[in-house]
Structure 1
Amino acid sequence: MANTESLNQVIRLLKYEAAHNKCYTLYNRVAPDPTGDGSIWLDMADAQNRAYRITKEGWLLETDVPILFRRYEHQRPLVEAVKGGDAKLLLPFVNIGANKSSITTQHRQLLLLVQTASYLIPNIAHPINAIFGGHGSHKSLAQRYIRELFDSSAALLLGIPRDENAALQVLDHHYIPIFDNLSYMPNWFSDMLCKAVTGAGQESRVLYTDDDSFIRSFRRCIMLNGLNLPATKGDLLSRTIMHPTEPVDKTLTEKELNEKYAKVLPEILGGFLDVVVKALKLKGTLGESKLFRLADFTEWGRVLAIALGETQGNFMEAMEENLRNQNSVDIENNVVAEVFLAYCKEAIETIWATEEQPFTSTPSEVFAQVTTKAQEIGVNVKNSKRYPQGANLFTRKLNDSKAAIIASGWNYETTHNGQYRVISIWNITNPLEKTITTMINSVENHTKLLEAS
């Protein structure tokens, strides 16, 4: 048996070799080619160390794979994809929309397919997939099926970890983590998911007895599900695509559904690989367009939509709908923002305020006026966890939903005038033009009623 000194010498030698030889960046499941040629690798995580290589020319299941991937115990091998598959075969297993022929349902299905295809694009921020709906809508099952495509695991469904360190480890180990059946989300976990979408880094000590440390850095394709929308905070909502589901007709058992899905899984995977091949060809050929919160996803989403046989216009319309839903939910979940908007729409001093001539007051005075409005519409303002008890917390709660407030046609700014804090509020839309339009609409409606009578 080697003595302690010999072991220490070997450890020092290995540390030296690791520090002075070539370093490799290791990825979880999906990686860019290390040569920088634009191709993409998807790890099979099987005993043969195979991986799919996706290029502009096509895709192949390769056995000669560069040093790219870090493996974890929970990972399971992916299925072998077939050529000429169809990504849209996924849709019957995710029951989105009550009216399957409506434009809204078609847009939501397109967003689901684009979002799923984007999981094969490395090094971008991927929006959160949030599925919600009533009992029997197969929320968990639908997300399991999506995860099986690219990140098969022995632990497909996860709960909220006990603390931040445990959450970091879970997010590090799972490329497409599914946080299942959520009814409540702690603020710290909501904040951590935001970081995991846009790029999280955390330094930790290797052992409690030494000074060595290691860095966890990752971007993840996160899924959430629950009876109601799990994401409620504005910053998390702005990184989320919402997928409301409908109850499923109980004609098949879960076992039968699993068997049915397993039969088409190789075709669905092959279809998504084909979509990314087409998207790689199209990338960079489209003109400029509006960018949403996750700009890289928007850019890739446009080409992925075309690769799916849809139009970039339909994708952008679907994103606009999702943005409107985000803002609506944000306001609904922030009673302060909701009452503030009600106050702005009725107060003469704010209705006619413009950016050049805003209504300006102290935060305390505005807080008092908004609180009066809250009492008028029946909001509990005393001893309430939802409603702040002071002006400082009032402006903080407003800031949580500022993007949604701006989308609703109002803006505000808190500054210091040299003596005390002031808040300026203004109407983003032209108030005179808005009033004239309202009057015209009113006259037109009145004329129609007279003609009808």
Structure 2
Amino acid sequence: MIDPNIAPLRALPRDDRDLFIAAGNGHILAFDNVSGLPAWLSDTFCRLATGGGFAVRQLYTDQEEVLFDATRPVILNGIEDFVTRPDLADRSLLLPLEQISEERRRPEQELWVAFEAECPRIIGALLDAVVKGLAMLPHTRLERLPRMADLALWATACETARWAAGTFWSAYCGNRDAAVEGVIEADPIAAALRAMMVAQTEWTGTASELLEALDQKAGARVANSKAWPSSPQALAGRVRRAAAFLRKIGIEISLGRDGRARTRVIRISMTEPPSPETGGAQPSASSVSSALPPNDNPSQVQNHNPCRPLRTKQGVKTTYRPH
């Protein structure tokens, strides 16, 4: 609606340089028909979501450097679960869309005519939310902050323009819980670790011993696949990457050194899993009151009757950071 970019849908970039050039020429980056993400691109999307730079040598020079620095929302649309790395999943909003039946499909021309008719109302609703957010943000407090802390604070400040207080936090926490389960299922190492710890509460050993134990748990078909680490060193890196999400389901992992030989040891223990975030998603009374300007009445916000939200199409997976 307001982005000057004339190519709203793109193919995935070939390298970091192409991605950051695209970020410098548009407010939002949208990539369609994504079936998979290479590891380097997943890491670059993380930097782009939370802010980061990319430096390359300027063309036709020996010492001059060009620095690309950007923070942009990214929309990734696809059918498969392609966000499988924990660091990107923790920065994402996962939005599964309902399939459009043949009876409800419309020609593109008809769709755009309807969109243009609704566009002023959509922009007006968004601006109302922005005005509310600007007024509420200095008074907004959350008892705990996720990785995307600025997103959580900004959306919480804006939400009472359309919904009751606590609506965003409840939905966001539920989305993060679903992301944890999805990433663990997609990562064969995380899934094997969870299966291994079902029958025990503690495990201690080296990376080589852990790889042998996981080989037996996963079976020959998985252990011989390309997704399986080929060495104890590679396994240790995969375990570190999965540790944050495994901790959320009650599996604590620590890597350190023991004895005079300073042997690298991995310790895995079952702890009391934290209660699902959705269960305690509603802010406390103090959180609600702190999210209101001094002259507002918290009870009025709690009893606010939200308007029917406008329906807009969004990508399946979104990494978002407000400006």
TM-score range, shorter chain: 0.7 to 0.9
Identity of aligned residues (%): 28
Residue correspondences, number = 269
Say whether residues 1:415 and 2:256 are aligned partners.
yes
**Which amino acid letter does the alignment assign opposite residue 223 of structure 2?**
V
Q: Which residue in the other structure is 1:371 paired with?
A: 215
Q: Identify the match of residue 18 of structure 2 among 158, 161, 166.
A: 166
Q: Identify the match of residue 144 of structure 2 among 284, 290, 297.
A: 290
Gap runs ≥5 in structure 1: 1-148, 354-358, 431-453
1: CA distance between counterparts of 2:57 and 2:169?
A: 44
1: CA distance between counterparts of 2:232 and 2:57?
A: 41
Q: CA shift at 1:160, angstroms?
A: 1.0
State the structure with more CA Rg: 1
Alignment of structure 1 residues 126-145 onto 2, 5 Å: none
Query: What TM-score results when the alignment is normalised by the length of structure 1?
Result: 0.57
Q: Say which SS state the counterpart of residue 226 (structure 2) adopts.
A: coil
2: CA distance between counterparts of 1:317 and 1:240?
A: 15
Q: Say which SS state the counterpart of residue 266 (structure 2) adopts.
A: strand
Cα deviation code 1:156-204 (max 9, x no counterpart): 1000122222222112222201011101212111111111011121223
2: CA distance between counterparts of 1:215 and 1:266?
A: 37
Alignment of structure 1 residues 134-283 onto 2, 5 Å: 149-209=1-61, 211-250=63-102, 251=104, 252-283=106-137
Alignment of structure 1 residues 339-358 onto 2, 5 Å: 339-347=192-200, 351=201, 353=202
Aligned partners of 1:336 and 1:398 also within 8 Å: yes
2: CA distance between counterparts of 1:165 and 1:317?
A: 37
Residue 207 to residue 380, structure 1, CA distance change in 2 (3 Å): closer
Q: Say which SS state the counterpart of residue 139 (structure 2) adopts.
A: coil
Q: CA shift at 1:309, angstroms?
A: 2.8
Q: Say which SS state the counterpart of residue 256 (structure 2) adopts.
A: strand
Q: CA shift at 1:152, angstroms?
A: 4.2
Q: CA shift at 1:321, angstroms?
A: 0.7
Aligned partners of 2:17 and 2:54 also within 8 Å: no
Aligned partners of 2:141 and 2:153 also within 8 Å: no
1: CA distance between counterparts of 2:11 and 2:269?
A: 43
**Which amino acid letter does the alignment assign opposite residue 218 of structure 2?**
A
Q: Which residue in the other structure is 2:277 paired with?
A: none
Q: Root-mean-square deviation (CA), in Å?
A: 1.8
2: CA distance between counterparts of 1:163 and 1:188?
A: 9
Gap runs ≥5 in structure 2: 274-323
Q: CA shift at 1:425, angstroms?
A: 1.3
Aligned partners of 2:133 and 2:155 also within 8 Å: no
2: CA distance between counterparts of 1:280 and 1:175?
A: 20
1: CA distance between counterparts of 2:227 and 2:34?
A: 20
Aligned partners of 2:129 and 2:161 also within 8 Å: yes
Cα deviation code 1:20-53 (max 9, x no counterpart): xxxxxxxxxxxxxxxxxxxxxxxxxxxxxxxxxx
Q: Say which SS state the counterpart of residue 138 (structure 2) adopts.
A: coil
Higher relative contact order (CA 8 A, sep 6+): 2
Q: Which residue in the other structure is 1:331 paired with?
A: 184
Residue 428 to residue 227, structure 1, CA distance change in 2 (3 Å): same
Aligned partners of 1:275 and 1:304 also within 8 Å: yes
2: CA distance between counterparts of 1:229 and 1:361?
A: 33
Q: Say which SS state the counterpart of residue 93 (structure 2) adopts.
A: strand
Q: Which residue in the other structure is 1:429 paired with?
A: 272
Q: Say which SS state the counterpart of residue 284 (structure 1) adopts.
A: helix
Q: Say which SS state the counterpart of residue 63 (structure 2) adopts.
A: coil
**Which amino acid letter does the alignment assign opposite residue 389 of structure 1?**
S
1: CA distance between counterparts of 2:14 and 2:206?
A: 41
Q: CA shift at 1:342, angstroms?
A: 0.5
2: CA distance between counterparts of 1:272 and 1:291?
A: 24
Q: Which residue in the other structure is 1:318 paired with?
A: 171
Q: CA shift at 1:372, angstroms?
A: 1.2
2: CA distance between counterparts of 1:316 and 1:309?
A: 11
Say whether residues 1:393 and 2:234 are aligned partners.
yes
Aligned partners of 2:85 and 2:183 also within 8 Å: yes
Q: Say which SS state the counterpart of residue 11 (structure 2) adopts.
A: coil
Q: Which residue in the other structure is 2:223 paired with?
A: 381
Aligned partners of 1:224 and 1:230 also within 8 Å: no
Aligned partners of 2:129 and 2:162 also within 8 Å: yes
**Which amino acid letter does the alignment assign opposite residue 405 of structure 1?**
L
2: CA distance between counterparts of 1:306 and 1:186?
A: 39
Q: Which residue in the other structure is 1:130 paired with?
A: none
**Which amino acid letter does the alignment assign opposite residue 253 of structure 1?**
P
**Which amino acid letter does the alignment assign opposite residue 380 of structure 1?**
V
Q: CA shift at 1:254, angstroms?
A: 1.8
